[in-house]
Structure formats: C-alpha cells, structure tokens
Copies of this chain bind each other. A is one copy, B any other.
Amino acid sequence: MKKNVLIIGAGGVAQVAAHKCAQNNDVLGDIHIASRTKAKCDRIIESVHEKKALKRPGVLEAHALDALDIEATKALIRKTGAEIVINVGTAFLNMSVLRACIDTGAAYIDTAIHEEPGKICETPPWYGNYEWKRAAECEEKGITAILGAGFDPGVVNAYARLAKDEYLDKVTDVDIVDINAGSHGKYFATNFDPEINFREFTGVVYSWQNNEWQVNRMFEIGKEYDLPVVGKRKAYLCGHDEVHSLAKNMDGADVRFWMGFSDHYINVFTVLKNIGLLSEQPVTTAEGQEVVPLKVVKACLPDPASLAPDYEGKTCIGDYVKGIKGGKERTVFIYNVADHRQAYNEVGSQGISYTAGVPPVAAAMLIATGEWDVKKMANVEELPPRPFIDILNRIGLPTRIQDENGDRAVSFEMAAA
C-alpha cells in the first residue's frame, strides 16, 4: 500500500532522501519536504525535477516548518496525509518529531540519535536517555518508529544482525569500520553538519566490551585496516550511536566502532579542541558578545553540501563480525563501497550524504509494504535484515561480503546465503 511521506530537513541527506523517494514513488505516495527555510526545500525539488527522478507523476511539495514546534509538525502531518515521517533534520529535532508522530499515528524514521544542544556524549546507552523512553508508548499506541536507519547507524546494524542470523552460530565481536577515502579538495571540511560532526568526537569514547561500557579518549586507540577498494587505512575507536543499541541486541558480543581519520583531520581537530573552539558552551568576547565557539567554527567551514561537485573517491563502510561457526572461529566482513562522483551525478549530493540518505527511504518502502511496519519502536538490528539489504542492493547501496570464501555480492532475491 502506498504511503505519503514527509521528509523533515533540507540538507545533503534530505536531498538524497527526496531523490530516492521520487525514484520509488510507485511504492511510496505523495512526497513532502519541510524545513525552517522553505527555499532550501524548493531547491531540492528543482533538483529532483532536473534529474527527472519521479518514477511516475506525483505530488512533490515544499513546506516551511520549525520542527521543534510539535503542534506545527502535527498540523503538517495531518495536512499532507503523511503516514511516514523521515526525519533527516538536525539531531536536535528527534524528540519533537517523534512526539508529533506518536500523536498523529504516523510512522517515524530517523538516522541519528537525539541530541540536546547544551550536552555532549551523555551516559550510555545513549538511546536510553531519549528515544527508548518512548518505546512503551509506541508499542501501546501501535506506532512504528525505526531508530537510526541511515548507514551507520542503520545498514551496519542490519549487517550485524545478518551475520548473527546467517553466518555465525555465536557472535563474539562486532567491529564497525567507516572509511571515507574520498577527497573534497578543501583545506578542511566536515562531510555533514560540523556541529554534529565535532560533537561526536569531543567527549569520551564509549565501546561495549566484556559486557560493560569501556571509556577511552578520542584518537587513543588506532588500528590499520586493509579494506576492499580503499586499501590500507588508519581508523580510530570512536563513540557512535549504533554501539548503544547493538550492545543490547547482540547477545553480549563486544561492539566497537572505528572511523578513519587522516593525520591532517586529527591535527586540525586537536588544535580546535585544545583551544576550546569546539565547545558547545558560550564564551563572551572582549566586546561582551555571547557566542558558542562551535557555531563560529561551523560558519567558517565549507557548507558540506558545497563539497559535492568536486568530491572524488570512494567510501567503504562495513562490519567485521567475528564469532563461532560449526565450532570454529570465523570472521566475515559485510560492507558497501560508495562513490562520491557517482552519487553526485545521480542525486547531486556527495557520497556521505548518499550513504546516509538512501537507507531511510528503503526503511520507508518496507513500512509501506508492511514488512517493517512493526507497530512499535525498533532499532534496525531488531528487524529482518534481508528485505532491507535487498532494497538497498536495488536502489544504490549494494552489499558485499568478504570471508574465507573470497569477496562476493550478498543478495537474497536470487539465492540464499
């Protein structure tokens, strides 16, 4: 059954989501895009029309919305008849948008954990501080709410579940590795909102090991990975959303997240952090102006969307899942490789936005078809991974696996694993 979709947000990820919804509006219904600045939604709609992305004639409309305003969001959900809300706005909006969905009966999808402006890196598990507090209410009212359905978190959660279901009898370690081997040609830039990007790394690093939260400093633990396509890359143990749900859902396996950083990124980050320029707490200038340093750094850095035209190279994101199979130790690497230029050519965004923006649309399609319309709150690893991976294979993010039998595509439409 077709379901109308409301996309909240108008950044690079929203642009990808809009294109993908348009490309699949035979499964989805009317498409609405809302953000504080309607002009940004208008530009996304223009881009969708330029690429002739609408699969069949259909509604594609822009709206101005302050999504922190729950009543306004509810009104827009009702006015547009949206049955699915894809929240790809700033992470500060989650709890407001979720509230609006619960109150109106719409399904909710997001791609990153809720954040409060004045707080970073709260007590683990992070989902427990906000989203999971609404789990009972969602179940009671039959609201489908899929949390963290981007790539990481999102697809990597499905990869972990897939490994557990189909490749291993028992999982002992999940090591998620995220490498962006692309180059944007700027002195320094973040691939998504600098404010959210830096906030990920200014606190401590939580990982789940030996059935407890382990705390490290950022860039304390590094490791070289030799990955398909992108080759040897240095990655560092980081805090990341998916660790906080997989810690609960992987039967006690260790869960770590590793992100690739160049020495240049680390140097810039270290300088900015040590000086205090990444602080989310305001400082007062000599002239008496109150300013949040991180917001000024953001204003000085390139707009992530502006990187897309010149971005070259590939990303490789996947899960090393280790465990026991038939009494023997086994490790599989389930992964995707995406290409920045290919993403730009298709939807006008760079590869990082692409990997984050395609999966929530796959999730929306699975809600529309009923397969993921679970009438409760769920993290991605709590849902059947096969249909998700199959849709992603078809709509731009093919899954591959590397193990003792070599490197090959993963697909369930044609063959079993």
Residues of A within 8 A of B (CB): 187-188, 195, 267-268, 271-272, 274-277, 279, 283-287, 289, 291-293, 295-301
Those 10 A-B pairs whose CB atoms lie nearest each other, nearest first: A276-B300, A283-B299, A271-B271, A187-B274, A285-B295, A285-B299, A296-B296, A268-B271, A275-B300, A291-B291
28 residue pairs from A and B, CB less than 8 Å apart: A187-B275, A188-B274, A188-B275, A195-B286, A267-B267, A267-B271, A268-B271, A268-B275, A276-B300, A277-B296, A277-B297, A277-B300, A279-B300, A283-B300, A284-B299, A285-B292, A285-B295, A285-B298, A285-B299, A286-B295, A286-B298, A286-B299, A287-B295, A289-B291, A289-B295, A291-B296, A293-B296, A296-B296
A393 to chain B, nearest CB (A): 36
Chain B: CB-nearest residue to A274 = B187
**Cβ–Cβ contact B277 & A277, under 8 A:** yes
Given contacts A188-B275, A277-B277, contact A283 B267 (CB under 8 A): no
Beyond known contacts A283-B299, A284-B299: 7 more, CB 8 A cutoff? A267-B267, A277-B297, A283-B300, A285-B292, A286-B298, A289-B291, A291-B296
**Cβ–Cβ contact B298 & A275, under 8 A:** no
Cα(A381)–Cα(B274), bound, Å:
42
Cα(A292)–Cα(B284), bound, Å:
12
Cα(A291)–Cα(B292), bound, Å:
10
A283 partner residues in chain B, CB cutoff 8 A: 296, 299-300
Chain B: CB-nearest residue to A36 = B286
Cα(A301)–Cα(B268), bound, Å:
16
A267 partner residues in chain B, CB cutoff 8 A: 267, 271
A31 to chain B, nearest CB (A): 26
A343 to chain B, nearest CB (A): 24
A188 partner residues in chain B, CB cutoff 8 A: 271, 274-275
Cα(A286)–Cα(B196), bound, Å:
13
Cα(A291)–Cα(B285), bound, Å:
10
A118 to chain B, nearest CB (A): 14
Chain B: CB-nearest residue to A189 = B275
A234 to chain B, nearest CB (A): 20
Cα(A296)–Cα(B289), bound, Å:
9
**Cβ–Cβ contact A296 & B285, under 8 A:** yes
A286 partner residues in chain B, CB cutoff 8 A: 195, 295, 298-299
Cα(A298)–Cα(B284), bound, Å:
10
